[in-house]
Amino acid sequence: MEFDDFILFNVYFPNGGKSEEHFEYKLNFYEEIIKYLKKLKNKKNVILCGDMNIAHTEIDLARPKENEKNIGFLPEERALITKFLNSGFTDTFRMFVKEGGHYSWWDFKTGARARNVGWRIDYFFVNNEIAKNIKRADILSEVMGSDHCPILIEFENK
C-alpha cells in the first residue's frame, strides 16, 4: 500500500522446506526483495512486515541448538536477514526488546504455544531513516486463533 510518506509491504516469504528447489527459491526471493527495497528506500520510506519464515538470531527461537540444521534457522537464511538489516533497515521489535522468549509462531501439533516453545519469524522492518518515528513494536502472543499471533508497530508520521 502506498501512502504519501511511505510504502507498506505485507509479505508472506517462502518457507523453503519442501525440497532443495523450494529452498533455493526462498534464498533467491530474499535476494531479489533485498535489492528492490534497498533501491526503493532511497526514493520513499519503506515498511516491510510479514511472515519471513526465518528466525534471525538465537534469541528468536526457544531451542536454537536443536534447530541449527533446520530450515528457518540455517546460517545462509539468517545471513540474508543480516544483509537486509545492513542495507539500511531496522528490526523494530529489537529496538524495544533485547531479550529472548518472545515468539510469533508455535507448532500446533506439539502444543508448543502452551509451553512458549516458539519462533519469532514475523517482523516489521523499516528503513533506518524512519526508525526514529517508531514508538512501539509488540508481539500480541495472547491473541489466539492461529499458529501465529499478530504483531504491531505504532509510529508517528512526521
| Percent of the residues in the chain that have a pLDDT greater than 70, as a whole number | 99
Answer whether residue 23 shows pLDDT above 80: yes
Average pLDDT, the chain: 96
Helix extents (H) in the chain: 20-40, 64-67, 75-86, 92-96, 112-115, 128-131
The answer to whether residue 122 is catalytic is no
Q: What is the pTM of this model?
A: 0.95
Q: How far is CA 158 from CA 5, 17, 90, 131, in A?
A: 9, 41, 18, 11
**6-155, what's its fold?**
Deoxyribonuclease I; Chain A (3.60.10)
Structure confidence by residue, pLDDT tens digits, 100-148:
999 999 999 999 999 999 999 999 999 999 999 999 999 999 999 999 9
Q: What is the pLDDT of residue 17?
A: 86
Among 18-22, 64-68, 97-101, the least confident range: 18-22
Neighbours of 108 (CB within 10 A): 10
Give the model's pLDDT for residue 158: 67
Contact call for residues 104 and 119 (beta carbons, < 8 A): yes
Buried b (16+ CB within 10 A) or exposed e, 85-96: beebbbbbbbbe
Torsion over CA of 83, 89, 28 and 19, rounded to 10 degrees?
A: 90
pLDDT recorded at residue 1: 96
Report pLDDT for 157: 73
**Active-site hit among 5, 51, 60, 122:** 51
Average pLDDT over residues 1-20: 93
- Provide the residue ranges of all domains of the chain, joining segments of one domain with +: 6-155
